[in-house]
Amino acid sequence: MDSFMVVATFKDGVTQDQIRALIPAEQAQAKILEEKGLLGTIKVAMPRRTVFLEAFSETEESVLEMIKTLPLAELWNLEVFMTTPPAGASL
């Protein structure tokens, strides 16, 4: 399985109330994906309205399909980047 970084930025006009309404369902779905080994670390930078998600899959397309199962995905613009280990890191 390959490693990907998904950068999710909130679409223009999305309100804090819209985000808060989806958080319980988001947490539940994220936990399911984590338990399946498909989702790793999630970091949120709310001042920049950006979420960083570590994802694992075979293809970029399957990563997008998986991320779109998260309730907040309907509020995001998504970019997906395949990652590689840092230079000198042992595999």
**Where are the domains positioned within the chain?**
2-82
Q: pLDDT tens per residue, the chain (91 residues)? A: 899 999 999 999 999 999 999 999 999 999 999 999 999 999 999 999 999 999 999 999 999 999 999 999 999 999 999 998 776 666 5
Q: What is the pLDDT of residue 90?
A: 64
Other beta carbons less than 10 A from residue 53's beta carbon? 25
- Report yes or no: 8 and 26 within 8 Å, Cβ to Cβ: no
Q: What is the pLDDT of residue 19?
A: 96
Q: What is the pLDDT of residue 75?
A: 98
Global pTM value:
0.89
Q: Which CATH architecture has domain 2-82?
A: 2-Layer Sandwich (3.30)
- Report yes or no: 39 and 33 within 8 Å, Cβ to Cβ: yes
- Report yes or no: 3 and 56 within 8 Å, Cβ to Cβ: yes
Q: What is the pLDDT of residue 71?
A: 98
